[in-house]
Amino acid sequence: MNLTKKILFSILSRVYKIYSSKERSYNFEGMIIKVFPGVFHPGFFFSTKFLISHLKNYELKSKNILELGAGSGMISVFCAKNFANVTASDVSKTAIENIITNAKLNYCNIAVIHSDLFDSIQKQTFHFIIINPPYFPKDASTESELAWFCGSDFQYFEKLFKQLPDYLIPETIVLMVLSEDCNIKIIETIAKKNKIQMKLKERRKFFGEENFIFQLHLTTN
């Protein structure tokens, strides 16, 4: 991240901290989304909408979908409205309550699980696993910071890529969104160590920030 972006990020972080201190409502593509204080706001940033846009390329009806680290649950609501069988998880108890609220608001049937990554998710088959991860290398000091910080040594990705293979079959499509502001090379190195390849599927620039959607595959070597 260059100096100009660091300054802008610092300013936006302060603005967002104030904005996110209250419950907010957000409407997107026919969905009514409540965002609880401390939960990642899908309208304030681009990653959630980017993933939803990308998911429109797939047939979701009757597919088993896991949104890992679902936050407000907007992606899960979108998938459920497209007749998928959806499971949404998050490490934050506040986010869990937020997902349940949004499922009810949008008349969706979503299985909601409080889990640190896959810790509390039973071994099962998913057709899609969708991940909008924290990626800034810092240790989180509060529950809400878990949505942003992956640990000073990228512990989030170490754990994610170690657990992920147990939930994959050849047909599973795993989609993960990242920004140019994170250290993609380190994340790719951790993935390769766990025999996971990150294949770029789509890239898009939002207000000068390039975002990427990667599909994760198990390698054979």
Per-domain residue ranges of the chain: 23-218
Written as tens digits, the pLDDT of the chain (221 aa) is: 555 555 555 666 666 677 678 999 999 999 999 999 999 999 888 999 999 999 999 999 999 999 999 999 999 999 999 999 999 999 999 999 999 999 999 999 999 999 999 999 999 999 999 999 999 999 999 999 999 999 999 999 999 999 999 999 999 999 999 999 999 999 999 999 999 999 999 999 987 789 999 999 998 76
CB 21 within 8 A of CB 37: yes
**pTM of the model as a whole:** 0.93
CB 62 within 8 A of CB 84: yes
144: closest CA among 69, 67, 75? 69
How does strand 196-206 pair with strand 209-218?
A: antiparallel
What is the spatial distance between Cα 67 and Cα 176, in angstroms, rounded to a whole number?
10
What is the spatial distance between Cα 66 and Cα 129, in angstroms, rounded to a whole number?
5
Count CB neighbours of 42 within 10 A.
23
